[in-house]
Amino acid sequence: MLVKHIMNQPLIRYIGLISISTGVMIGPLDTSVNIAFPHIVSDFDQPMKMTQWVVICYVLTYASLMLVFGKLGDLYGQRRIFCLGLMASIFALALISLSDSFNSLLFFRFLQGVGIGLVTSVAPAMMISLYPDEKRSHAVGLFTLFFALGGLLGPIIGGVLIDLFDWRAVFWFRIPIAFLSLILIVATPKQPIESKRTNFDWIGAISLVFFLVACLLTINQLHNIGDEKAWLLLLYASIAILFIYIFVRQERRIEDPILNLTMFRNVNFVVINIASCLLYSATFSVILIIPFFLYKSANISTNEAGLILSIGFIGTSIAGLISGKLIGKFKSNHMSFSGILITGIGLCLIGYADPSVNLHWMIPAIFLQGIGTGLFQSSYLFTVTGLLPVSQRGVSGSIVMLTRTIGVVSGVSLLTLGFAWLNQINHETGLHSEEIFNKSFQHIFILAGSVLLLFLLATMTRPTIWFGKRLK
C-alpha cells in the first residue's frame, strides 16, 4: 500500500516517466544507424548487402531474448531488469564506438542487442504501472509517443552528428542518455514483487531462444533458395521445428510457463499478432530503402536525408499523442484496422511517386504511413497488455516488442531480396542504371503497401476480428 501511495504522487510519477521514456528511447534512436549505413559499409569497404548484418546481429539478439527477459522481469522485478539493460547498453555502445573492424562491430552490436532486449522487454509494463488500470490507454499512448520520438530524432541527430564527426557518433551519443535514465530510475520507488516462489523455466527459455534464432535465420536465408547454399535454409528451418516442439511440450506441462499457450487458441489474437509482424516488415522499407535513394538519386545532404526520414516518425508521434483518447472513444480493434489501412495506402503512395522528378510527393506519403503505424502500435499494445493479468505484464509487453522485431528482421531480409529481384527484372528492360534503381524503388513500396491491403482483405472473411467485440 505504501508503494502504491508513493506511485500516486505526481512528482514521483513524472520522474518515473522521464526515466523510463529516456531509457526506452535508446532503442528506437537506433534509426540514426540507418542514415549511417552508406558510411559504415564505405568505411569498412563492404558491399551494400552487408548492411543487413548490422541490423540482424542487433535485432536478432534482442528479439530472441525479449520474452525470456520479460518473464524474468515479472519474477524478479522489472526495474532490476531495466537497470541491468541500461548498464549493458552503455558498455556495448562504448565498444561499438571504438570498433576497428566490421566483424568487431557486428559482435558489439550483438552485445547491444542484449542490453536493448533487457530494457525494452519490461519498459511497456513499467510505463503502464505508473498509472491506474483505468488509465492504461493513456500509458499506452505515452509509450507509443516516446518510442516514436526516438525513431523521429534518430535520423535528424544522426545526420547532424555524421556531418560533424563520423558514423561512430550515432552510437556514442546515446551513452549519456542511458546514464540519465539510470540515475533517475534510482529516484523511483521499487515495485513490489509477489511473494510466491517459482522455479524459472530454463528448458522453456533456452528452447524458445533457439527457436526464435533459427526461425529468424531461416527468414534471412530465403535469398539462397535454388542455389548451393539452400541447405542452410533447410538446416535452420529444421532446428526451428525441433525447438518449437520442445518449447510447446515443455510449456504444456509446467505450472508457471514463460508463455501461456492458451492465448493462441484465440484466432483474433493470432491474427493481430501476424498483422503486427507484417506491418513492421512493410514499414521498414522506409528506413532501409529510402536512405540509399536519397544518397544515390536525390543529391541531398545527410542532414536533409535525416529530416526526410524523420517525417514518418512525426506522424507516429502525433498518433501516439492522440491515441490515448481515441482508444477511449473507439474500440481498439477498429483502430488497429484503420492503422493498417492507412499504413498500406501511405506505402503505396510513396511508390506511385516518381522519385526522379517528384521528391516532395514522397514527404506527405511518408507522414501518412507514420500516422497509420502509430495508430496500430497504440491499439495493439493496449489489446495485448489487457489479455494477461497484471502479474504477467512483462510478458505481454514483450510479445508486443517481439512481433515488432520479428517484422523488422523479416523486413530486412525480404526487402533486400525483393529489391534485388526487382533490379534484375528492370535490368532486363534495357534501362540505364539510375532508371533501374528508381523503378525498383517505386515497385518495392507498391509491393509492401499492397501486402498490407491484401492482408486486410483476406481477414475480412472473418469481420469480427476488426469490427466485433474487443479481444478478451
Burial class (CB in 10 A: 0-12, 13-18, 19+), 433: exposed
pLDDT tens digit at each of 472 positions of the chain? 434 444 456 677 778 788 888 888 888 888 788 778 778 877 887 776 677 788 778 888 888 888 888 888 888 888 889 999 999 999 999 999 888 888 888 889 989 999 999 998 888 888 877 777 677 777 777 777 888 788 778 878 887 888 888 888 999 999 999 999 998 887 666 655 544 456 778 888 888 888 888 887 887 776 666 676 777 788 888 998 999 899 888 888 887 777 777 777 888 888 888 999 999 999 988 877 887 777 665 566 666 776 777 788 888 888 887 877 777 677 778 888 999 999 999 999 988 866 555 667 788 899 999 999 989 988 888 888 776 666 666 777 778 778 887 887 788 778 877 887 787 787 667 666 667 777 888 888 999 999 999 999 999 888 888 876 554 4
Structure-derived torsion over alpha carbons of residues 68, 73, 74, 79, reported in degrees to the nearest 10: -170
**φ, ψ of residue 331 in degrees (nearest 5):** -65, 145
Q: Are 162 and 170 in contact (CB under 8 A)?
A: yes
**DSSP classification of residue 133:** G
How do residues 59-87 score in pLDDT, each as one tens digit?
A: 888 888 888 888 888 888 888 899 999 99
- Cα separation, 126 vs 390, whole angstroms: 11
Query: 3-class SS at 356?
Result: coil
- Residue 54: partners with Cβ closer than 8 Å, 6 or more residues away: 33, 37, 40, 105, 106, 109
Q: Which three cell numbers stand for residue 276?
A: 503486427
By the 8 A CB rule, do 102 and 50 touch?
yes
What span, in angstroms and rounded, lies between the C-alpha atoms of 64 and 185?
26
Separation CA 71–CA 259 (nearest Å): 8
CB 428 within 8 A of CB 422: no
Reported as half-sphere exposure (CB side, CA atoms, 13 A), residue 150 has a value of 24
88's grid cell: 549493458
Please, how many CA atoms are within 13 Å of residue 268, restricted to the half-sphere of its CB? 20
Q: Residue 242 has what pLDDT?
A: 93
Query: Which residues, 6+ apart, have CB-to-CB distance to 6 below 8 Å?
Result: 12, 189
Per DSSP, the residues of 92-113 read HHHHHHH--SHHHHHHHHHHHH
How many beta carbons lie within 10 A of that of residue 166, not counting itself?
13
DSSP labels, 3-31? HHHHHTSHHHHHHHHHHHHHHHHTTGGGH
419, containing H or E segment:
helix 393-427
Q: Is the pTM of this model over 0.75?
A: yes
pLDDT one-digit tens code per residue, 9-54: 667 777 878 888 888 888 888 878 877 877 887 788 777 667 778 8
- Residue 456: the pLDDT is 92
- Residue 396 CA to residue 401 CA, distance in Å, equals 9
SS3 429: coil
